[in-house]
Amino acid sequence: MATLDLSAIRSRIGELRVTSDGLIALIGTCISVAALTYLLSTIQGAVTVHNKRHGSRPPKLPYAIPLLGHLPEFLKNTMEFLARATAKYGPSTPVRIQLLNRRMSLLKGAESITALFRNSRDLSSEHWLVQVLVNAFGVEVADAPFYLADDTGIANQPDPRSKMTNPEYRIFHLVFKSVHSGLSGASLEEMESQLVRNLSSQINEADIQSDSWTTIFDLYGSLIRTIAFRAAVVSLCGPKVFECIPTFDADFWTFDSALPDLFKEMPRWLAPASYAARDKMKEHLQKWQSFAHEHYDVSQGKLDKREWEEFFGSRLMRTRHEFFQKMPLSKETIAADDLGLVWAATANTVPAIGWMLLEVLQRPDLLRRVREEIAPYISLDPSDPSRMIVDIPNLCSRPLLQSLYAEVLRLRSGTVINRVPTSSDFHIGGWHFKKDEQIIISTYDTARDQYVWNQGTVDDPHPVNEFWPDRFILYPDNPNSGPVLPTIAQQQPKKMQHPPISEPTFSLDGTAGSWIPYGGGTRMCPGRHFAKKEMIVTLAMFLTEFDIELLIDADCEIKPDLKYFMFGVMHPQGKIPARIRRRRFN
Ligand code: HEM
Ligand SMILES: *[C@@H]1O[C@H](CO)[C@@H](O)[C@H](O)[C@H]1NC(C)=O
């Protein structure tokens, strides 16, 4: 795969014997321009903060290279760059960033972020979404104008300023409505039971014995990821995908690892393998779609009372293909749009499920507590002992399981959320944001805000960078428990404060604007209810059926793969060997 090897370039430059005085002078000039630019932008930023009035624009983050702005730093290490931008000018002052010709503001502080989400109506992400669909997922450039022509918004009533009249072409509204209704109520419940059904059959069929251990070289990459992905796709798209395309699973993860290149808009000649991985996934989805259309008439889909059937899977998928059929879009584009949905539905959840298991398996005490919490809610079907029966609602209301779920998402997701003020300039916290300029939020950094998060006590510290399974549990007799600092908890409006509790209780109180793995406002992730169930149920089913021992050194910490930073929940890095056998339960 073609990548830019910066260290190689640097050492080449070092090998060159620079003899020309002219070149030295040029380099000297460049260095002083950079120093001057940095000095000037630092002063400018400091002056902006010092002279802040209502309506000032956010200060600029200092940078050294004119024109490029923060681009070199951003590309070198995005995580470090965002951490620097977050620290600069304090925890709630937004900063302006410039990446070449793109200007944006990084919004910080729970209050400002909540305010942004509350004002969703004046913001839009549609244009940005089209950009992502084209650049990352491969919607055909020729079809982009169709998407961009829809300026009617996502609400039921088209935006009164819009001149678009065909209700069948309201793609953003139709997609929005279909994902929200398809991922709630009866449709959601059916997806959940399909998930359990499929997980149960895969777990039952896995080639793992009860009387001897099986060694696997990569617990996440070759077992958890495969099973979790297949079950998720079957609940969304039905089982035919895997029948039509036996390599769907492996090819999807190859595509997923190519996404960072595609998002960064690397040209095809620089990243041919990444584009090839995407082309392959588009062909796969087209193949499945034509097969499904041959066997199921989506135009009659509304008459079908079933929430799920085997060709298109969920009602969500069926509804999409019903409205796609009435739109003048190419087959390639429809496949690319579905690739985006399949990615949204799996690329965060599956690594998050991996972390749920890995965090528990690394802590024997926690494993014991978790199994105790799970046990009452899972049993074998008396009429078919190869099937597990899961009491999903009660299982997913347990405090420790919910706290684990929230802590995994707090610690492992690194998403950049994006909004654009489209109708007019925008004000938050007294700062002025220009119309059409992106406002971004880094979920990785809000999840580590030391002015918000509970970090334990002197005797029992729990730094923000550490996994703390009990972080989101309020204990009745412990005033130091719960996710946020006591000062933050007390600031909560009275009606939001918990009534006195008599038992350990899961709580997100005080984390609004800080715990935001799903974004917020009207564009908040519609898959969050399903995702939560998936994460807890899959963990519970694995731990019920299997004994798993990680074969890694006790002091070796499993780290996230920073390659995925910015693109949601990061995968665990490297291969994680383990041994596994079936447990006897019931
Ligand atoms: C742990 C798992 C998940 C995480 C962390 C996650 C995170 C996110 C985030 C950050 C957004 C953008 C929200 C914003 O801009 O405010 C989003 C959007 C979305 N997610 Fe999820 N998601 C997860 C699981 C799912 C699942 C399981 C599905 C579907 C089955 C799904 C479907 C979607 C869709 C369709 C959107 C676009 C919504 C829109 O643009 O209006 N997500 N998700
Ligand atoms: C579960 O999904 C796999 C595809 O990965 C499929 O082969 C299997 O038949 C499914 N099982 C059930 C019970 O849905």
Q: Is the CB of 202 under 6 A from ligand 2?
A: yes
Per-residue model confidence (pLDDT) at position 90: 87
Q: How far apart are CA 214 and CA 564, in angstroms?
A: 30
Ligand 1 within 6 A of 153 CB? no
Give DSSP secondary structure letters for 514-536.
Answer: TS-TT--GGGS-TTHHHHHHHHH
206 lines ligand 1 (CB under 6 A): no
The SS3 call for residue 314 is strand
- Name residues whose C-beta falls within 8 Å of residue 291's C-beta, 6 or more positions apart in sequence: 240, 244, 311
Q: How many CB atoms lie within 10 A of CB 102?
A: 11
Distance 187 CA to ligand 1 centre (A): 17
Q: What residue has token string 């595609």?
A: 262
What proportions of the chain, in percent to the nearest 5, are helix, strand and coil?
50, 15, 35
Could you give the CA distance from residue 422 to residue 99 in angstroms, rounded to a whole number? 20
**Is 245 close to ligand 1, i.e. is its CB under 6 Å away?**
no
Task: Give 241 Cα–ligand 2 centroid separation in angstroms.
Answer: 10
Look at domain 128-451+511-582 and name its CATH class. mainly alpha
Q: Which ligand has its closest atom nearest to the C-alpha of 517?
A: 1
Task: Return the amino acid letter for 324.
Answer: F
User: Does residue 193 line the site of ligand 2, with CB under 6 A?
Assistant: no
- Ligand 1 atom nearest the C-alpha of 117 is 16
Residues of the chain with CATH 1.10.630.10: 128-451+511-582
pLDDT at 585: 66
**Best substitution site from 193, 194, 196, 198 to test ligand 2's pocket, by max atoms within 8 Å of Cβ?**
198
> How far apart, in whole angstroms, are the C-alpha atoms of residue 1 and residue 490?
53
Q: State the DSSP string of 112-139.
A: HHHHHHHTGGGEE-HHHHHHHHHHTT--
- Tallying the residues shown for the chain, one arrives at 586
Tokens 């055909």 correspond to 140
Q: Which residues pair with 487 in a beta bridge?
A: none
Structure confidence at residue 208 (pLDDT): 94
- For ligand 1, atom 40: residue with the closest CA: 523
DSSP 8-state symbol, 566: B
Three-state DSSP class for residue 442: strand
414 lines ligand 1 (CB under 6 A): no
* Six-digit token string for 298: 């989506």
Asked whether 344 lines ligand 1 (CB < 6 A), one says: yes
CA of 531 to the centre of ligand 1 (A): 9
Out of 190, 203, 226, 230, mutate this one to test ligand 2's pocket (max ligand atoms within 8 Å of CB): namely 230
Closest CA to 516 of 565, 465, 445: 445
Distance separating alpha carbons of residues 49 and 519, to the nearest angstrom: 28
Q: How far is the CA of 191 from the centre of ligand 2 (A)?
A: 14
Q: Does the C-beta of 413 come closer than 6 Å to ligand 1?
A: yes
* pLDDT score recorded for residue 18: 40
* Closest ligand 2 atom to Cα of 242: 4
Own/partner contacts of 479-484, CB < 8 Å, gap of 24 or more, are 480/454, 480/456, 481/454, 482/454, 482/507, 482/509, 482/510, 483/406, 483/453, 483/454, 483/507, 483/508, 483/509, 483/510, 483/511, 483/515, 484/452, 484/453, 484/454, 484/509, 484/510, 484/511, 484/514
Closest CA to 112 of 159, 58, 67: 58
- Please state the atom number of ligand 2 nearest to the C-alpha of residue 241: 4
pLDDT of the residue at 30: 63
Identify which of 234, 229, 458 has the alpha carbon closest to the alpha carbon of residue 352. 229
Question: 520 in ligand 1 pocket by Cβ < 6 Å?
Answer: yes
Give me the pLDDT at residue 54, please. 74
Going from the first residue of the chain to its last (586 residues), give the mean pLDDT of each consecutive group of 10, the final group possibly shorter. Answer: 37 40 60 66 69 81 85 90 92 92 93 91 80 94 95 91 93 96 97 97 94 96 97 98 97 96 88 97 98 96 95 97 97 98 98 98 97 96 91 98 98 93 86 91 96 95 97 93 89 68 93 96 95 98 97 89 94 96 80
Atom of ligand 2 nearest to the CA of 249: 5
226 CB less than 6 Å from ligand 2?
no
Eight-class DSSP state of 219: I
CB 570 within 8 A of CB 564: yes
Phi and psi, residue 450, nearest 5° = -70, -15
Residue 221 CB-density burial (10 A; 0-12 exposed, 13-18 middle, 19+ buried): middle
Nearest to 500 by CA among 514, 479, 522: 479
